[in-house]
Amino acid sequence: MKRLLVTGAAGGLGRAMRQRLAPMADVIRYSDIVDLGEAASHEELVRCDLGDSDGVDKLVEGCDAILHLGGISVEDKFSKILNANLLGLYNLYEAARAHGMPRILFASSNHTVGFHRQDQHLDVDTPMRPDGLYGVSKCFGEALAHMYFDKFGQETAIVRIGSCMEKPTTHRMLSTWMSYDDFTSLIECVFRAPMLGCPIIWGVSDNDSRWWDNAAAAYLGWRPKDNAERFRAELEAAGARPDPRSPVAVYQGGQFTQDPIFEE
């Protein structure tokens, strides 16, 4: 790749991935609504609100691929979700359409299916059951990606990320965790694949307790290597096992199912 665009680069995942992404493209254009610090020699830093269509158009121009991490990443006021996750995604896809349809990896979320129970195993054909407005915004993003693929041939990997962090910190994450190494290898697979299409991929490591089946995306050849099980003893010693009747133990979306609708 000549130039990779990474949105949401100042966030938790963006910062964790910055070193790991360096070998993937000659130039990496990092963007966020907040300051991104100093640029290294192979980096371009662009401050941009995803809700600003002209700004997003310029951001996407000249890029061969987009890792879209930007947006509101938890439950929040609808006005904030509307700007970043709905308008922002529309702006991104329109900019992509205007500039040669660079391949997109869209960071969707397990909160598209958060009201499914933890004793259910899901594949990509399981109906969505979002657990809040944040989850609904990711359902919108997935629908938008499919529409741009069907209408224009725009390729997107829709990655329903579980919990991508250094290590699992709750009992639920023994099922939902994805390691940074596994996310890195997934990004490589997505951008190297000769043919991508518009698959839904569960962004989860090879956890013994995972709930999600990636058979439909097997053609990409992604083989996650980490397994949250190695943290089980540590987590259980720290008292992480919840009451089996509590929402964190019943629903796949865990605590997100209990969030209110936030007032403006």
- Which two three-digit tokens encode residue 183? 């996310």
User: Which of ligand NAI, ligand 15L, none sits in contact with 92, Cβ below 5 to 8 A by type?
Assistant: none
- 71 is an interface residue for ligand NAI by CB under 6 A: yes
Residue nearest to ligand NAI (CB): 11
3-class state of residue 106 by DSSP = strand
Q: Does 88 bind ligand NAI (CB under 6 A)?
A: yes
Phi then psi for residue 10, to 5 deg, are -85, -5
In order, the DSSP letters of 111-163 are GGSTTSBTT--B-TTSPP---SHHHHHHHHHHHHHHHHHHHH---EEEEEE-E
Minimum CB distance to ligand 15L smaller for 21 or for 164: 164
Residue 176 binds which entry of ligand NAI, ligand 15L, none, CB below 5-8 Å type-dependent = ligand 15L
Binding mask 104-133 for ligand 15L (x = CB under 6 A): -----xxx----------------------
In the list 156, 175, 176, 185, the residue contacting ligand 15L (rule: CB under 6 A) is: 176
State the DSSP code for 84: I
The residue among 10 and 228 lying less far from ligand NAI, judged by its C-beta, is 10
Is 134 labeled as catalytic in the residue annotation? yes
Q: Which of these, 184, 218, 204, 216, lies nearest to 252 by C-alpha position?
A: 204
> Which residues ranging from 123 to 182 are in contact with ligand NAI (CB under 6 A)?
161, 163-165
Active-site hit among 30, 90, 134, 148: 134
**Contact present, 171 and 235 (Cβ < 8 Å):** yes
What is the rounded distance in angstroms from the CA atom of residue 94 to the CA atom of residue 53? 9
Confirm or reject binding of residue 59 to ligand NAI (CB under 6 A): no
Residues that bind ligand 15L (CB under 6 A): 73-74, 109-111, 163, 176
